Structure 1
Amino acid sequence: MDNFNTLELHTDPRGVATLWLSRESKNNAFNAEMIRELILALDHVSSDPNLRFLLIRGRGKHFSAGADLAWMQQSAELDYHTNLDDARELAELMYNLAKLKIPTLAVVQGAAFGGALGLISACDMAIGADEAQFCLSEVRIGLAPAVISPFVVQAIGERAARRYALTAERFDGQRAKEIGLLSESYPAETLDQQIEQWIDNLLLNSPAAMRASKELLREVGNGALTPALRRYTENAIARIRVSPEGQEGLRAFLQKRAPNWQAESNNKEPRR
C-alpha cells in the first residue's frame, strides 16, 4: 500500500475500506499533494477485488475546510495553463470517485467547505452530524465552484445549487439532508454508532450485486426511456441472475439461509 502524507487508507478483513483525510492541523484542507494522493488512493481501492465499499472521512474536528490557503496563494501566482493543469487534476479526482465501481459513503463532521462539497457529492451516499456546517464559499473570494459543480448539481439539484453557489450561505446537516446532500443527519455524539449500522447493513448485500447496481444506475442516468436503455436493463438482470453470487443469493433465499457473503462477513473481525 502507498505511504501517504495527507491521507490514511485502512482496510479490514470484511472488505471495508476507510479513506481518511489526514491534515488535521490544516482542518483537512485540500492542496495539490492531497489531490494527487487521493487519486492514487482511489486507484489502489479500485484495483483491490476484495473490497466491498469505501468510507471517506476526515480526521479531527472537521471533514475538510476546502482549499488550503497557501495552495490558493500559489495558484494566484500561476498562469492560465498551469491553473488549467491544477483544475484537470481536481477533475480527475472527482470523476474517478464518481466512477468507482464499489459503493462510497462520505461521513461528515464539522466544516465541509468549497471543494469538500464536491467530494461529498461525488460519493454515492453521505451521512453527517446535525451540527456540521456546509458552504459553497468560492464566490466570497472571487472564484466559482467550477470543477465540482456537475457533482453538486446531481446531488442537490440545479435550483439549490444556484442558491448556495451564488449566496455562499452556510447550512447545517439537517438542511443538507433536506436538499439531498446528506442521506441522513444525526446528533454528533451518535455519528460513530450510526456509521457502524450503515456498515452492518451494507455487509448484508452481495458485493457483486452492489457493483452491478451502481453500474446500472450510472447507465440509467435520469431514467429517460429509450430502446437502448431497455435492452441494457434486460441484459443486466439476465447477467446478474446467472452470475455466481446471483445464483447463491437465489438459492439462499429459497433455502431460507444466509448467503455465503454474509457468513464470510460474520466470521471476520473488523480491524480498526
Structure 2
Amino acid sequence: MFETIRVEEDTRGVAHLWLARAEKHNALSAAMIGELTQAIGRLGASASVRVVVLAAEGASFCAGGDLAWMRAQMAGTAEERAAGARALAGMLAAMDGCPKPVIGRVQGNAFGGGIGMMSVCDVAVGVAGARFGLTETRLGLTPATISPYVVARMGPARARRVFMSARLFEAAEAERLGLLARVVAPEALDAAIEAEVAPYLACAPGAVAEAKALIALIAGQGRDAEALRAATEAALVARWESPEAAEGISAFFEKRPPGWA
C-alpha cells in the first residue's frame, strides 16, 4: 500500500492518482517521489486503464519539493545527492512518458515541482483563485530537473517571464503561459475534467498511446533526452551544494530573510 498517494480506478478505466499529503500541501518527499514513480509505471502498463487523472487532496495541488527532503539532500553525501536528483528526474520522466493520457486536476496552488508535474500532464485544468510560481531561486536553487518539461510547455519566451524571478502568478496568467488549458470555477472543476476524459473513452487505446509517442518522437528530434536529463540532475546537485542554497534553506527554516533579500 502507498502512504503518500492513493490510486482509484473506475469501471470505465479512468484512474485517479491522488497526491495525499494534504497536511504538507502535497510537497514532494522522497517517499512520495518513489511512490509516484511506481504508481505511474503500473498505471501506464495496465491493460484496464484508459486515462489517468493526476489530482491532489486538500487545499494545495503541490507546494513543490519538501523542504526537509531538500535539507537532507544538501546534508547528504555526493552519492546521496546524486541519487535524490536521479529519483526526482526519473519520476518526472516516468510521468511524461506514461503511454496513457494524463490529465491534471489542479484544484489549488502549485509551486516548484508542482509546476513540473503540471507540465508533464497532457492537459491541465485549474481553478480560478489558485496561485502558481517557480519559487526555487528564492531559496538559492533553480528549477533544474523540471526545466525540460516547463520550457517545453511554456516555450522559451514565455518561460523567461516567470522561470527565474520566483514571481507568483494567478490562474489566468498560468493559462496564458500554457501551463493550464482552461481555468474554471472550483465548483465546475470536476465537470471540466470529465469533459477532457470522455473523448478518450471513444478512442482506440493503442492508437492513443502511439499518437502520444509520436508527439514525443517529433518534439525530441535532435535532442539527446538522456544527456539532457543528466545535465539537469547535475545542475540540481550543484545548486544543493552551493552556499546560496545553504543560506536560502537555512533562512527559510529560521524564518528570516536570506542574505541577498
Residue pair 1:109, 1:131 contacting (<8 A) in 2 also: no
Poorly superposed stretches of 4+, deviation over 4 Å? none
Letter in 2 for 1:99: G
Cα RMSD (Å): 1.5
Unaligned runs of 5+ in 2: 223-261
Post-superposition CA distance 1:98-155 (Å, at most 9, x none) = 1111111111122100111111101111111121111100000000010000000000
Residue pair 2:8, 2:16 contacting (<8 A) in 1 also: yes
Residue pair 2:159, 2:177 contacting (<8 A) in 1 also: no
- Counterpart pick for 1:205 among 203, 206, 210: 203
* In structure 1, distance between residues paired with 2:160 and 2:88: 21
* In structure 1, distance between residues paired with 2:221 and 2:76: 42
Task: Please give the residue correspondences for 1:205-244 in structure 2 after superposition, counting only pairs within 5 Å.
Answer: 205-221=203-219
Residue pair 1:138, 1:165 contacting (<8 A) in 2 also: no
Per the TM alignment, residue 209 of structure 1 is displaced from its structure 2 partner at its CA by 2.0
Q: Secondary structure at the match of 2:60?
A: coil
- Counterpart pick for 1:175 among 173, 177, 196: 173
Residue pair 2:29, 2:69 contacting (<8 A) in 1 also: yes
Per the TM alignment, residue 70 of structure 1 is displaced from its structure 2 partner at its CA by 1.7
Q: Give the structure, 1 or 2, with the largest relative contact order (CA under 8 Å, sep 6 or more).
A: 2
* In structure 2, distance between residues paired with 1:84 and 1:223: 27
Partner in structure 1 of residue 133 of structure 2 = 135
* In structure 1, distance between residues paired with 2:159 and 2:186: 25
Q: Secondary structure at the match of 1:41?
A: helix
Q: Secondary structure at the match of 2:65?
A: coil
Partner in structure 2 of residue 73 of structure 1 = 71
Residue pair 1:114, 1:138 contacting (<8 A) in 2 also: yes
Post-superposition CA distance 1:11-59 (Å, at most 9, x none) = 1110111100000111111100000000110121122112111110010
Partner in structure 2 of residue 258 of structure 1 = none
1:14 aligns with 2:12: yes
Partner in structure 2 of residue 191 of structure 1 = 189
* In structure 2, distance between residues paired with 1:97 and 1:73: 25
* In structure 1, distance between residues paired with 2:74 and 2:124: 32
Q: Greater CA deviation, 54-63 or 68-77?
A: 68-77
How many pairs are equivalent?
Answer: 222
1:38 aligns with 2:23: no
Unaligned runs of 5+ in 1: 225-272
Per the TM alignment, residue 222 of structure 1 is displaced from its structure 2 partner at its CA by 7.0
* In structure 1, distance between residues paired with 2:74 and 2:218: 40
* In structure 2, distance between residues paired with 1:49 and 1:212: 15
Partner in structure 2 of residue 54 of structure 1 = 52
Q: Greater CA deviation, 86-95 or 213-222?
A: 213-222
**Identity level (%):** 37
TM-score if structure 1 supplies the norm length?
Answer: 0.78
Partner in structure 1 of residue 101 of structure 2 = 103
Letter in 2 for 1:131: G
* In structure 2, distance between residues paired with 1:57 and 1:116: 11
Post-superposition CA distance 1:215-250 (Å, at most 9, x none) = 1222222789xxxxxxxxxxxxxxxxxxxxxxxxxx
Structure with the greater alpha carbon radius of gyration: 1
* In structure 2, distance between residues paired with 1:46 and 1:202: 15
* In structure 1, distance between residues paired with 2:4 and 2:134: 23
Partner in structure 2 of residue 166 of structure 1 = 164
Per the TM alignment, residue 189 of structure 1 is displaced from its structure 2 partner at its CA by 2.0
Letter in 2 for 1:141: L
Per the TM alignment, residue 72 of structure 1 is displaced from its structure 2 partner at its CA by 2.1
Partner in structure 2 of residue 121 of structure 1 = 119
TM-score if structure 2 supplies the norm length?
Answer: 0.81
Per the TM alignment, residue 158 of structure 1 is displaced from its structure 2 partner at its CA by 0.9
Per the TM alignment, residue 204 of structure 1 is displaced from its structure 2 partner at its CA by 2.5
Q: Secondary structure at the match of 2:110?
A: strand
Residue pair 2:41, 2:98 contacting (<8 A) in 1 also: no
